Every structure is written in C-alpha cells, then in structure tokens.
Amino acid sequence: MVFETPLLRVSRPVAACSRCRSAKIKCDGKLPACTACERSGKQAECSSTNDQFARGKERSYVSTLETRIEKLERRLQESQHRKASIVTDHDHNHDGAVLRHVPSEGGNRTSKRLEAQEIDDLVSDFGYLTVNATARDFYGFTSSMSYARMVLSACTKDSLPPGFVTPLPPRNEAMITIRHYFENFFVMYPFFEESSFYASIDAVYNSENLRNFTASPFDHFSVRLVLAIAHAGRMEQRGDGNYMAAIGHVSAALVHAEHVLRPGSIASVQAMLLLHEYSMIDPHHFDSWGLIGAASRAMVDLGLHQDPPRSTSISRAKLELRRRVFWCVYGFDRTTSLIQSRAFSFSDDSANVALPFSVAQTLVSPDAKDDSNHILFKSFGSAIDLFNLRRIQSDWYTELFQSGRIPLSDPYPTIWRSCEAMRSWFAGLSLSMSPQVRTFFELNLLYSYIYILAASPRMPFVAPFAQSLIFEHCIQYAEKMTSHANERVKTAPLSFYDAMRVYMTGRQFIEVLQGNEDRLLSGIIPDPPHVPVDSAPPPPAPHTPRDFQKNLMRSITCIKRLTDCLGLFGLRWGYMSWRDRFQRDSESLLSSLNQRVWKRQDSSNGPARPVWNFTDSVVPLADTVMPPSGPQQHLQPLITPTYPPEFQQSTAFYQSQYNGSVPQTNNQYPVWHGHNSDAMGPLGDQQEQLGMPHTHKY
C-alpha cells in the first residue's frame, strides 16, 4: 500500500523574505530577521511577504493548522465514503459470500497519486508550524478554538464574575472618566489616534439611541476598556465602587473579544495593549506578561518593527499609527521584562522604527496647558521621554542580564556609561513638565540606578562606592514614592508595577545595609572603582551626611516609608502579604538599628525608646508567610525562580568563578535579579509562591 512506504518529498519553503527572494538565496524564514540577513548585517531590511504566497504555504502557524484540519476532515470523509462503497452488507451471492467492490486499475493509480500528493503536502507544511501564531492572511477557524480564546485562556488568572456587566454610563459622566484616562495614561502610551477613539464614542452612544446606527465590535471593546482602566486607576481599595465598575466594563468588553482579538490587524494589537494596560492595574484577573508577549508577536508578524522602505507609498497618518503602536509595545515590553526579570520579546537590533510625533506634538502651548476641557491632541513629550528612557534601560539590561552569566572583568565602565546616559536623559526633561510627571520619571530613574548598581550575573559583587550609592538612592526613592503615592490628584499613573518596584527597592536596601551598617551609617564615601581614562566618569558621590545618628534615623525612616507604601499598595491591589513579608525580612535589621538607638540614648542618659518598630503598625503581621530559617538567610525574590544547582548563591560557586578570591561583602548576586525567564514562574503564580490563597471577593 501507499501508506506503508510513502514517498516523502518535502517541497522547498517559499516563504522567503523580500531580500532573499530578490537575491535568489535560501531563506530559513526566521523572524524577526532571517539568518541570511543577520549574517550580512541587513537584519533591518528583512521583511516578510506573507500576502504573496498561496494558501497552505503561509508563514503562519494558525493558518497552516487550519488548512491541515480541512485536509484531514476531507480525507476522513473520503475514507468513510470508500468504506461504504467497499462493503455492501445487503449484496450477497448464492453461497453467502459478501460481494466486494473491486476498483479498476486506472482508479487505483489515481487514488495512489492523490494519497501521495496529500502526504507530500502534509510533510511540506511541517516547517511552518513554529514560525508564528498570527498572520495577515487569516481565513477564519473551522472549529470551536479561536485566536481570542487562545490568548484569553493563556492570560486569564482569576475568572471574572459571570453575568456581571456595568451599564454604559451617560455620555457626560463617561467623558469625565475618559478625560482621566487621557490625562493620566494616554499621555504616556498613546497607541491609538484620539480622533478615531472619539469617533468610536460617537458610534457606541449613537447605536444605543438610534436603531439604524451600529457600532463595530472594536468601538465597543475600546470604549469599555478605556472606561475600565480609568475606573481602576482611581480605585483606593480592591472591592470599592471604582473597582466594581472596572470589572463590569471589562466583562462587557470581552463580549466582543472574538471579533476584535483576531490576527492580522493593528486593531488586534491595540486591543491586546488595552488589556495589558488594564492588567497592570488589576493583576488578579489577567497576566500582563502573557498579554504583552502576544501583542509583541502580533506586532512583529505585521512588520511593525520595521519602518517601510522610502520607496513604499504610505500615508503619513498610517505611518504615524504604526510607529505609535510599535513604541508603546516596546515600552510595555521593556517595563514588564525589567520588573519580572525576564527576557525581552524582541531585541533592539531587530527593530528599526523612528520615534513618532512631530516637534509640534511634543510641545504644550500655554493656552492648552491649563484648559481642563481640552482633552484632544495633548502633548506627547512625556511619551517620547518615556520611550527614550526605555531604550537606555534596554541597552544596559541586555548587556548585564541577557548576555550570558560569565562575569565581566571590569563591569564598571559599562555601568558608569549607562548611569551617565540616564543622568543626561533626566537633565534634558522639559522644564514645563508638571511636578507629578517629573516625580514619576525621577522614581523610574532612581529605581534604574538601584537596579543597575546591584549585583547581577555579570557583576556578582558590588563595590563599596556602589553600595553607598544604592543606600542613598533607596532612601530618596522611599521618600519620593511615599509623597507620590499619597497624592490625591495624580497626573502620572500608578500601577501594580510600582508596588513591585517598592518591594524590590526595600529588599535591596536590606541587602546593602546588612553587614555594612558601620560604614554606611558613618557617612564616609569610599573612592569609586578605577576605570580607564577614556571611560565615562562615575556618578557624583552621594550627599550622605557624616552624622552617624542622623543616618541611623534616616535608615529607620526609610524602612518605615517602604512598609507604609507596601501597606497602601497592598490595600489597593490586594497583596498585603508583601508588606508582611517585607516586615519579617527587615525585622532583624530594624532590631539592630533600634539597638544602636538605645545604646546612644543610654550613653546620653536619654529615654531608651525605639524610634519605630513594626508593633506600631495598625495591621498585625500575617502568619501565612514565614521567613526562611538559618542565620545567613538569603533574600527571597518577588517571583521565586528555580535556579539550577550550579547557580545557587553559595560561596563555593563564587570561589570557583574568581579563583578562590572572594571579596568580603554580603552583596552577592541577589535572587530577585534572576534573569532566567525559563526558570521563573509567571506573574500569575505569585499568589501561590507568596503563600496567598486565591480570593474571589467582588
């Protein structure tokens, strides 16, 4: 039979990029740039040509699977029909033998030829199964599975309450809520056009009032999610009125998910970005890491990571929208990767897209600045500043956390260069920027300093000068975040990522202060590490007062402020165990600092009273999270990775890396800087990893 020894002829892949097709060279179809273009240094010119190929040969995982299902269903029908024609139960001969249908010789040859062709087509499609999960040439699904269900199934954590939908508010009330979104979120991530969105508002409300007027599914989806993000951004506590309104609007938006989350369109990427933006404020229901990953892959499949060639005819509005979407995906992806210590979805080298917006769009006119009714065409200077910061962060994160684990022989030239770039970026911010937005950027800057100066795989040990910098930056971060988090009127968004930054900053403060109390509290700043003459200069020495008692009080106050911020954010997002865990981790350090206060008060015959301890807190410590045992306990990460044995934080490992010379410091590579994305659990697992039971209170 044909199926026993099939002739497996694998057809040559035809999904070559434009450059390989024009040069007539072999293309392996790898995305975002093929191997041939990477070797020749032309990865920026590598672009796919999905719509040029016949159906069944697309660079699409989804379309290929759909085609295979159709072929298998057709073969199943043919097999059933052939079986019915071969065996006829009602036709017997006189001896009782069953009459069988004997096909003709010509028909047998035709059947064999068709079977061999189908096997050839089946094998030739194997090479396309791992290219991408989205494509522009999408023809629809033939089964109950869909792209929207795949995305939502992979990225949903706690299910939304069934049947709970918030009614569409009156238009005047909705515009107030939408204005909050534009003034707080859209100015940072403007991934859609303002005029198009307000057209969607008109369509949605006209469809409610006029029977002969209909709104598209994307109109309903975008309006509902913008309302949900604005309500969630204004909530003070999980479960309050704004939170419930946000849940209801998201539920109403997901009704249209099947028609919106479809591969092959920019609108689908925008829809996933709206879901990702909501997941940053409501971390209980959606996984932000999975959503930005899906959006990044859809963006790359559409070719948005490359500006069209100059010879391509494209309108300015369409080019502007492409650039907006790419840079917002870029900013979200970099932020999520840094926060969760994961790999980027795509590298900087694979992208070549100019920044969006003209000079006029990045400036604020004095008349429009104070006009509360002017919500269209806001300045996008803050967005450009944020994109530039993400590019700098992407550069040093790639160098220090995604380029292997072999320690650098001299890491500080790279670190000083990155610190200088971030310092220059902050100095170049517009003077007309609001104080709240400037504080938002300064918090990002301080967190970046702490992140890059702390121990990493390529810099396992921290110099004493860098420890002093971390000590000061943590104190400044705690002070500014406390003030920023308690602002009643905010012009910069606070998200769940800020709670994660506070937690990580607190862990670094404990890590750097434990074992170095005398030197850091004395205020003596060591000399910076020696670097080559042509390297970037080290950051300015921190202005630490040379007053032991004052630095002692500043340290205790820093721990208190970080604890208060974690309590405030825990109440808002439902993760109070983070505050409780930070209290337990810092309990020994705080006790040591209080002991020093007591000794100094005893020496001066003052009242022996601690400045502050955790018993002063209103909410008692939770009993669900216990600190690790042992005198030399290591700091546990926010998202606990499972490291291979050769990378455990042990002195023996570092001795083998440094030929037996281990500097006397406690600042070894901190666990929360783990950058092995394969070993780390997703953000959705953090409840279980922190010992928190799932709660479903609405």
Chain segment 488-534, per-residue pLDDT in tens: 665 567 899 999 999 999 999 999 999 889 999 999 999 999 889 88
237-257 pLDDT, tens per residue?
Answer: 888 899 999 999 999 999 999
Q: How confident is the model at residue 115 (pLDDT cuts 50, 70, 90)?
A: low
Question: End-to-end alpha-carbon separation of the chain, Å?
Answer: 63
pLDDT at 221: 96
CA distance 397 to 676: 13
Q: Is the pLDDT of residue 61 over 80?
A: no
CA distance 633 to 186: 43
Averaged over 184-210, what is the pLDDT?
A: 90
Query: In terms of DSSP bridges, do strands 87-92 and 98-100 run parallel, antiparallel, or are they unpaired?
Result: antiparallel
Tokens (6 digits) for 335: 């932020």
CA distance 56 to 67: 6
Share of the chain above pLDDT 70, in %: 68
Residue showing tokens 């041939």: 36
Q: Is the pLDDT of residue 467 over 90?
A: yes
The H or E element containing residue 92 is strand 87-92
Averaged over 606-631, what is the pLDDT?
A: 44
Q: Is the pLDDT of residue 79 over 60?
A: yes
Q: How confident is the model at residue 91 (pLDDT cuts 50, 70, 90)?
A: very low
Q: How confident is the model at residue 54 (pLDDT cuts 50, 70, 90)?
A: very low
CA distance 609 to 99: 104
Tokens (6 digits) for 18: 């434009």
Weakest-pLDDT range from 35-39, 517-521, 555-559: 35-39
Averaged over 536-560, what is the pLDDT?
A: 91
Domain boundary assignment for the chain = 18-128, 147-357, 384-628
pLDDT at 694: 36
pLDDT at 259: 93
Residue, of 130 and 227, whose pLDDT is higher? 227
pLDDT at 698: 34
CA distance 353 to 293: 19
Residue 546 in 3-state DSSP? coil
Residue, of 15 and 250, whose pLDDT is higher? 250
pLDDT at 39: 82
pLDDT at 40: 82
pLDDT at 31: 74
Q: Is the pLDDT of residue 631 over 50?
A: no
Q: Is the pLDDT of residue 344 over 70?
A: yes
pLDDT at 565: 94
pLDDT at 692: 37
pLDDT at 405: 85
- Bridge partner residues of 98 (DSSP): 92
pLDDT at 60: 55
144-172 pLDDT, tens per residue?
Answer: 578 899 999 999 998 998 889 999 999 99
Share of the chain above pLDDT 90, in %: 44
Weakest-pLDDT range from 104-108, 218-222, 535-539, 654-658: 654-658
389-434 pLDDT, tens per residue?
Answer: 999 999 999 999 988 889 999 999 999 999 999 999 999 998 888 8
368-384 pLDDT, tens per residue?
Answer: 444 444 444 457 888 99
Task: Show the 3-state SS of 423-485.
Answer: HHHHHCCCCCCCHHHHHHHHHHHHHHHHHHHCCECCECCCCHHHHHHHHHHHHHHHHHHHHHH
Q: How confident is the model at residue 210 (pLDDT cuts 50, 70, 90)?
A: confident
pLDDT at 86: 54
Q: How confident is the model at residue 24 (pLDDT cuts 50, 70, 90)?
A: confident
pLDDT at 612: 61
Residue, of 10 and 31, whose pLDDT is higher? 31
Q: Is the pLDDT of residue 437 over 80?
A: yes
Averaged over 225-230, what is the pLDDT?
A: 96
CA-based nearest residue to 508, from 536, 474, 541: 474
Q: Answer yes or no: are the C-beta atoms of 477 and 505 closer than 8 Å.
A: yes
251-297 pLDDT, tens per residue?
Answer: 999 999 999 998 889 999 999 999 999 999 999 999 999 999 999 99
Residue, of 669 and 376, whose pLDDT is higher? 376
pLDDT at 116: 63
Cis peptide before 32 (omega within 30 of 0): yes
pLDDT at 606: 53
Q: How confident is the model at residue 106 (pLDDT cuts 50, 70, 90)?
A: low
